[in-house]
Amino acid sequence: MVRYVDLITDAVQSGRNDDTAQSPPSAIPGSFFSRAAQTPAAKEPDSDKDIYLGLWKQLQDIKLTILERKDFDILPLKEQLRAIAGSPGVIDRLYHYTTRYGNEEDYTASHSINTMLYALKIAQQMEYAPGDLEALGLAALLHDIGMFTIPDSILRKPETLSAEETATVRRHPEIGRSVLAPWSAEMPWLAQAAFEHHELEDGSGYPRGLRGEQISEFAKIIGLASTYEAMTHERPHRRCVSVRELIDTKNRSFAPRVMRAFLEQISLYPIGSFVRLNNRTLGKVVETHAGQPLRPVVQIMEDADGNRVTDEKTVNLLGNPILWVTGAVSDEELSRIQKR
Ligand SMILES: [Fe+2]
């Protein structure tokens, strides 16, 4: 049986830590990045995509600053989190982008943003107050900050890591705690969540093998969100893996209360995302079912031969054993379709 701790480790091991790479997750003509490069600070974010990519840029800047061993400020991120956490509508709209970003080679920043959005959705279901949502969101955004320091030679290695290399990667929670230590007096939960996010409910996690109530609730939520994010996005050495095991009720790796909230809130394929079905048709998710993350309602947009479907035809995958989603449609494939 595959252990989640191995999956997440496997996922982070395949990553990339390129201190020179500064391209956004995908080349988006006219995006916030290209404009900001010409007139920095002259452009306020004006769309949900700009907010997402603005967070991505801020995380990349923090990464560079850490690698240069300089001080960095998290206040801008904190303020942005206040705006996001205070607006459920913004969280829901940003959530759509989690299927679009996170598959790029240098995925550490988008992994952090997606994890933040999943964590916020879980916490909304757990009825967190806006102030707690803001704190959790910031902790989630910075939970893998220790990964920024892991050398490329390890993170880009396609082969299985040696025991020594694995040990290096597994130090990232501890490194994250150290990096975030300057804010521990004001926000102790920040370093704590970074340090504990790979701990698992049954004690099989790392670095300390904590179990149950020994693990902070922020770390429990972020750990589940981070694991789910890694499983549902491609990494250089593998494609997405099934989340069926994750959502199996027999799974004991995550706290039942957190898992229940996760299953209520998270759809593997959120409304507005595009998916491919096993009969090779392509569709847009128009409705999701609580507790059924794999079986949304899909409006068919393209038939099996790639022809656009003009009449409005929807398929409810709940209770339809013949049809299922084989995967999310990539950004590249989507722009190809939209150009037709
Ligand atoms: Fe991690």
148-152, 267-271, 311-315: least confident range: 267-271
Query: Given this model, what pLDDT does residue 43 score?
Result: 46
Distance 317 CA to ligand 1 centre (A): 33
Q: Which amino acid is at 105?
A: E
Query: Given this model, what pLDDT does residue 312 score?
Result: 81
- The mean predicted confidence, pLDDT, of the chain is 80
Buried b (16+ CB within 10 A) or exposed e, 285-317: beebeeeebbbbbbebbbeeeeeeeeeeeebeb
pTM over 0.85: no
Per-residue 3-state assignment (H helix, E strand, C coil) for 31-51? CHHHHHHHCCCCCCCCCHHHH
Distance 172 CA to ligand 1 centre (A): 7
> What is the gyration radius of the CA atoms in the chain, in angstroms?
20
Tell me: the pLDDT tens digits for 6-26? 333 333 333 333 333 345 554
Q: How far apart are CA 77 and CA 83, in angstroms?
A: 10
Distance 340 CA to ligand 1 centre (A): 40
Distance 84 CA to ligand 1 centre (A): 23
Strands 282-289 and 274-277: antiparallel
Higher local confidence (pLDDT), 329 or 65: 65
Distance 173 CA to ligand 1 centre (A): 6
Q: For each of the domains in the chain, give its residue range(s) and CATH number, in order of start.
A: 4-265 (1.10.3210.10), 274-339 (no CATH)
What is the helix (H) or strand (E) element at residue 211, kind and residue range? none
Is the alpha carbon torsion for 198, 201, 207, 213 positive or negative? Answer: positive
Tell me: the pLDDT tens digits for 93-111? 888 788 777 776 677 888 9
Pick the closest to residue 91 from 124, 132, 138, 56 (CA basis): 124
The token duo for 235 is: 């990494």
Distance 101 CA to ligand 1 centre (A): 18
3-state secondary structure of 320: coil
pLDDT confidence bin for 146, thresholds 50/70/90 = very high
3-state secondary structure of 295: strand
> How far from the centroid of its chain's Cα atoms is residue 138's Cα?
13
Higher local confidence (pLDDT), 188 or 311: 188
Angle CA 259–260–261, to nearest 5: 90
Distance 176 CA to ligand 1 centre (A): 9
